[in-house]
Structure 1
C-alpha cells in the first residue's frame, strides 16, 4: 500500500531513485510558452532542479512536497535562504531571492487555485491506480480554465512493482480528456540498462501536453 508514510520513509532512508540532479531535458524542450510571472504548480516536486529552471524562466513557481527533508535539502543544496509560515496542516517555505516556494504537506490538502500552468514529471506515476482519478481531479481544480500542462508519464509491461507505476496511453486520455496530446516518447529499454528486464518488451517514457 502506497501511503504518506511510505514516501516519508523513502526520503528518510535515501531511497529516492526517482530524483534527478539535472534539469529534465523534456522540460527544457517542451515547456509551453507562458507569460512572465505565470503561476506554475509542480505537484510532488521533491527537491527537483526543475523548480529552479522554471523560476529562472520568469515563472512564479509553487511546488508541493510531503517530505520536510526534501524541502530542507532543496533549499540547502541550492544555497537559498527562505522564510516559513504555517497555514493549517501545511507549511509554506518561500525563497528570499526568487519567485519560488514549496508548500510542505499532503497534496490533497492543498487547495489554492488559479494556477496558469502545471508541470508533472513524477506525480501521476507515483499514484496507485485507485488514486489517479482523484489526483487528476484535484489537480485540475487548482488550475485556471486556460491553464497549460506538461506531463511526463511512464508505461511498461510485465510486473508492476512501482512506484513509478505504469500509466498506459489510453488511461492518460481517459483521465485528462480530449485536450491532452502526446508530443514525444522514447523506449528506455533501448537507452538505459536499469530498465532492462527479460519480462518486459517496452518501458516507454512519454511526454504529453494539455492545452486549452
Structure 2
C-alpha cells in the first residue's frame, strides 16, 4: 500500500533512487517558453534541482513536498536562506533571493490555483493506479484554463512493481484530456544496461505536453 508513511519512510531510510542529481535534460529541452514571472507548480518535488533551474529562468516556482527531510536537504544542499510560516496544515518555506518556495505537507491539502504551468517529472508515476485519477484531477484544479504542462512518464514490461509505476499511453490521454500530446520517447532498456539487467525489454520514458 502506497501511503504517506511509505514515502516518509523512503526518505528517512535514504531509499530515494527516484532522485536525480543535476537538472533533467528533458526539462531543459522541452520546457515551453513562458512569460517571465509565470507561476509554475512542481508537485511531489522532492529535492529536485529542476526547481532551481526553473526559478533561474525567471518563473515563480512553487514545489509541494510531503517529506520535511526532503525539504531540509533541498534547502541545505543548495545553501538557500529562507523564511517559514505555517498556513493551516502546510508549512511555506519562501527562499530569499530566488522566486521559489517549497510547500511542505500533503499535496492533496494544497488548494492554491490558477498556476500558469505545471512540471511533473516523477509525481504521476509515483501514484498507484487507485489514486492516479485523483492526483490528475487535483493537479488540473491547481492550473489555470490556459496553463501549460510538461509531464515525464514511464511505461515498462516485466514483473517490476512500482513506484515508479508503469502508466499506459491510453491512460495518460484518458486522465489528462485530449489536449495532451506525446512529444518524445526513449526506450531506456536499449541504452541503460541496468534496466536490461532488471528484466525489461521495454522501459520507455515519454515526454508529454499540454501547450497553452
Whether TM-score is above 0.5 comes out as: yes
Aligned length: 212
2:105: which partner in 1? 105
Q: Helix, strand or coil for the counterpart of 1:148?
A: strand
1:202: which partner in 2? 202
1:37: which partner in 2? 37
CA contact (8 A) 1:160 1:166 kept: no
- Please show how residues 161-200 of structure 1 align to structure 2 within 5 Å: 161-197=161-197, 199-200=199-200
1:8: which partner in 2? 8
2:122: which partner in 1? 122
Structure 1 runs of 4+ aligned residues shifted over 4 Å read: none
- Please show how residues 129-144 of structure 1 align to structure 2 within 5 Å: 129-144=129-144
Q: Deviations over 1:4-47 (max 9, x none)?
A: 00000000000000001110000000000111000000000000
More moved, 57-66 vs 192-201: 192-201
Mapped partners of 1:175, 1:125: distance in 2? 13
- Please show how residues 51-66 of structure 1 align to structure 2 within 5 Å: 51-66=51-66
2:155: which partner in 1? 155
Shift of 1:160: 3.5
Mapped partners of 1:53, 1:199: distance in 2? 34
Aligned CA distance change for structure 1 residues 198 and 6 (closer, same or farther; 3 Å): closer
Give the TM-score normalised by structure 2. 0.98
Shift of 1:201: 2.4
Shift of 1:167: 0.5
Give the TM-score normalised by structure 1. 0.98
Mapped partners of 2:199, 2:67: distance in 1? 33
Q: Deviations over 1:91-117 (max 9, x none)?
A: 000001111000000100000001000
Shift of 1:198: 6.6
CA contact (8 A) 1:43 1:63 kept: yes
Mapped partners of 1:85, 1:208: distance in 2? 35
Structure 1 portions without partners, runs of 5+? none
Shift of 1:164: 0.1
Q: Helix, strand or coil for the counterpart of 1:101?
A: strand
Q: Helix, strand or coil for the counterpart of 1:196?
A: helix
Structure 2 portions without partners, runs of 5+? none
Q: Helix, strand or coil for the counterpart of 1:132?
A: helix
Q: Deviations over 1:136-179 (max 9, x none)?
A: 00000000000000000000012141100000111111101110
Mapped partners of 1:199, 1:68: distance in 2? 34
Mapped partners of 2:108, 2:16: distance in 1? 22
